[in-house]
Structure 1
Amino acid sequence: MLWEDKAILLSILLVYSSPQTLAAGEKLDDVQCAEINNTRWHEYRQNMGKLEVQYLLLTRKNPDCAQRFDQDYVGNTTSYFNTSRPTKVIVHGYRALGRKPSWVTDLAQALLRAQDANVVVVDWIYGASFAYNLVVQNYKEVALQISVLINQLQKHGCKLESFHFIGISLGAHVAGFVGTLFEGRIGRITGLDPAGPMFKDADVFDRLDPTDALFVEAIHTDSDYFGISIPVGHVDFFLNGGMDQAGCVRSRFASMFLLFPVYGYVICDHMRALHVYMSALNGTCPLMGIPCSSYEDFLQGSCLDCGVFKGRCPVIGLKENSGIATSPIPEKQKVFLLTTSSSPFCAHHILLRLEVSPLDKRAEVEVTLLTGNEETEHRFRLQTDVTVYQKVLAHPAALCEISSIRLKNTGARLYRQGDIHIKSVCVSELPQPRHEEPLCVNHIDIRRGVPWSHDFVQVCGTL
């Protein structure tokens, strides 16, 4: 095995080592709350070779105290499960030995705040611990066991289209195989940064793909490391290109010290999909994606609208088909969006367009957009053979809230252009609404080192 392969395997063994909380609170009412299994070493040895899949039920009647739920409890009059409500099924992924998924309760409660539903947590900790390559061998068996429970629920009146699976990392492929077993009749699957190692080159039968449910979506945040880099759903949201997430720590010495990529890179990027999804469920602000062939084209402003979806851009959350109105739903549509470094992660996509007169020498222009006390800055490196430049930026406020724009010729070296004539600088918001005109300033001369600014007088809704 190559050193890089060993490093990846070891990283996977360590990846989820953050402080833990229970899947359900430790409080006791009349009955003790059900808990996710633990896998300390002595327990793992006792259960070696056993999957020991169990299910925990959370509803609005017991959001803090999970109820044990399996085939014997289906139809039980003491169960909080309601067949008339939709059912959310949470499937965790790989777990390091001795670690429980700390986010289960948070995700379940976010789902319950957004919708009155049954939330079923699939606990396959025993099968999901130890070496990653061995864990991957278990995921289809887990899916088979889940399918038995789904069959039982169907007998009690649940419809397949009422099931929404939310799979995290390897759990996304577990959900996908459940969908395969039911021939794609499951209502919806959401893959949160679906696992990439051992799945990128796998057959569609063996990984999540659009045929696994009536609607499949995926959120990609770590596609260069633990997540998968290819589209696997009807709609695939690539946040910040699907790789390096805003606010996640990186180090040039990461390859020398293994713990740096584990804590500062892998956990932050890989788990960002989960945190963004939970934030979207809270409904603070829309997280909207724009279809484009590549992240580079998106950043260069080559993709301005959502025409492929009849003008309705897909959004992360619980909207039916992510808000897409087209029928049939296109498959493997890449959509891109920029996010901020912290919750609620929403940003406005601002297209900055700069047109300059031909230059004799290279130059550099710094453009700053200001809204109140917040600002967004970008530097254009100007070439002698290019006159038009575009860039999509993440700005904290909408176009109508931008109060001013500031330009500065930052070329300080002698070989840089002295004076620059800017034919126009325009600011618009994506996706471009038909009724909203871009903010433009024309014919500006800026000297080296001398800042120039312009104030916009506008009020949102009265442009």
Structure 2
Amino acid sequence: MAKLVAFLVVLLCGNLAAAASADLISVLEQLSEGPLARLLDLNIDPPPRTAGFSTLLPQKSIRLTCTKTREPRFQEILYGDVNLQSKLNFSLPLTIAIHGWQERNLSTYSALTMPYLRFANNTNYCLLDWRAYSEFGYQIAARQSVPLVAQYLFGFLQNLSLLYFPLQSVTLIGFSMGGQIAGLTGKLLPGRIGTIYALDPAGPLFSHPVDIGPKRRLDASDAQYVQVIYTSRYTAGFGKVLDGAQNFLPNKGYHPQQPCTAKGDGLSELAGALQCSHRYAVSLFVSSLDPNNPIIGKKCPTIFGARVCLMPTKDRLGIYAQRIRGDFYL
């Protein structure tokens, strides 16, 4: 049974983006996304929410907490908060971290926050808590929660802009669906967000089984600089390598990543290994924050379809990158 489910996931995740027409792509999207989303929901315990979405109010169900020092002294910023200038330091840049789907314990923030505050230059640092919307089934979360949360974050950043905070000083760090939220937020402020780091952005229902297009998912144009770390392409993570972004691809971006081989062929073992690869992007990004621990990618030219790495261009993964566009292999 486990092997059958795994086979179906791979089959449904096959990239159909080369379909001949927009109408056909739309039909394929409608036919395939429901079954794929239900497969993804199967491994969630407790099961995802299926009802109650319309009863939630974004102003009460989404929380933004921020610190303006290198210490984790977080204050909540309310919707339409009139005290923004006292809760943030407008002379410093702003970083906002965005967690992924079904992160009930906010494990991304647990891994990221202290290293980021320790190693990043002086910055305001915020955590966007959208758990109330992320606990729904995958299809609801991808199609309804992601754009709604992006709209909420857009409102916050727009208010900052009205107070003359420079949006080119804003960095969004998003894991999984958080990477897609970062991208949609950037689209609402075209060309104004400074930086997006997308840590294995979610792929199902975004890049596969059908690519829904750059207007509805993460794209290199969503910020002045976009860095993407791919660790589970065409499974849990985004499949398409984005033109115009700086892309880092350990193991060419595919599962399994180095520490993530399944120890059995049961469904739970296979799912655990895939989740390990998906989260490996967070591990790489966190490790790269230490300036003494460079993680180096190599950009190699392609000749007759093969990568040739005789004299590759090199760059660091993470916040110390020289921001060279292209594909860097680890």
TM-score by length of 2: 0.78
2:280 is equivalent to residue 272 of structure 1: yes
**What is the aligned counterpart of 1:216 among 215, 226, 232?**
226
Greater helix fraction, Structure 1 or Structure 2: 2
- 1:54 paired residue number: 63
Task: Find the counterpart in structure 1 of residue 261 from structure 2.
Answer: 249
Determine the structure 1 residue equivalent to 2:23: none
Q: Which amino acid aligns with 2:159?
A: Q
- The match for 2:110 is 105
Which secondary structure does the structure 2 equivalent of 1:259 belong to?
helix
Contact 1:190 1:216 in 2 (8 A): yes
8 Å contact 2:65–2:75 — kept in the other structure?
yes
Compare relative contact order (CA 8 Å, sep 6+) and give the higher one, 1 or 2.
2
Other-structure match for 1:315: 316
Residue 215 of structure 2 corresponds to 205
Separation of aligned partners in 2, 1:87 and 1:169 = 21
Q: Secondary structure at the match of 1:222?
A: coil
Q: Residues 77, 179 of structure 1: CA spacing in aligned structure 2 closer, same or farther, 3 A cutoff?
A: closer
Give the superposed CA RMSD.
3.0
* Higher share in strand: 1
Cα distance in structure 2, aligned partners of 1:16 and 1:113: 33
Which structure is larger by alpha-carbon Rg, 1 or 2?
Answer: 1
Write out aligned runs for 1:302-381 (5 A): 302-306=308-312, 311=313, 313-319=314-320, 322-324=321-323, 330=325, 333-337=326-330
Which residue is equivalent to 2:149? 142
Tell me, which stretches of 5 or more residues in structure 1 are unaligned? 19-38, 338-463
- Matched to 1:53, the amino acid is I
Alpha-carbon displacement from aligned partner over 1:289-324 (angstroms, at most 9, x marks no partner): 111367x945xxx21334xxxx5x2211212xx214
SS of residue in 1 equivalent to 2:107: coil
Report if aligned partners of 2:77, 2:84 keep a CA contact under 8 Å in 1.
no
* Deviations 1:377-427, CA, capped at 9 Å, x for gaps: xxxxxxxxxxxxxxxxxxxxxxxxxxxxxxxxxxxxxxxxxxxxxxxxxxx
Letter of the 2:123 counterpart: A
Alignment of structure 1 residues 274-293 onto 2, 5 Å: 274-292=282-300
User: What stretches of structure 2 of length at least 5 have no aligned partner?
Assistant: 13-33
The answer (yes or no) to whether the contact 1:16–1:267 under 8 Å persists in 2 is no
Letter matched to residue 228 of structure 1 = F
Of 240, 247, 271 in structure 1, the residue corresponding to residue 251 of structure 2 is 240
The change in CA–CA distance for 1:10 and 1:203 in structure 2 (over 3 A counts) is: closer
Residues of 1 paired with 2:129 and 2:190: CA distance?
Answer: 24
Aligned to 2:30: none
Over residues 115-167 of structure 1, what are the superposed CA-to-partner deviations in whole Å (9 max), with x where a residue is unaligned? 21111111111111121011012211211111110011112231010000011
Please tell me the residue identity of whatever aligns with 1:130.
F
Hey, what's the Cα distance between the residues in 1 that align with 2:237 and 2:114?
Answer: 25
Classify the secondary structure of the residue corresponding to 1:167. Answer: strand
List aligned pairs for 1:40-51, cutoff 5 A.
48-51=55-58
Q: Is the 8 A contact 2:251 2:329 kept in 1?
A: yes
Question: Per the alignment, do residues 316 and 72 of structure 1 end up closer, same or farther by CA in structure 2, a change over 3 Å counting?
Answer: same
* Native 8 Å contact 1:140 1:174 kept in 2: yes
2:232·2:278 contact (CA, 8 Å) conserved in 1?
A: yes
User: Retained in 1: the 8 A contact 2:70–2:117?
Assistant: no
1:40 and 1:202 mapped to 2: Cα distance?
A: 24
- Check the 8 A contact 1:58/1:108 in 2, yes or no: no
**8 Å Cα contact 1:7-1:258 kept in structure 2:** no
Deviation at 1:72, TM superposition (A): 4.3
- Structure 1 residue 124 and structure 2 residue 116: aligned? no
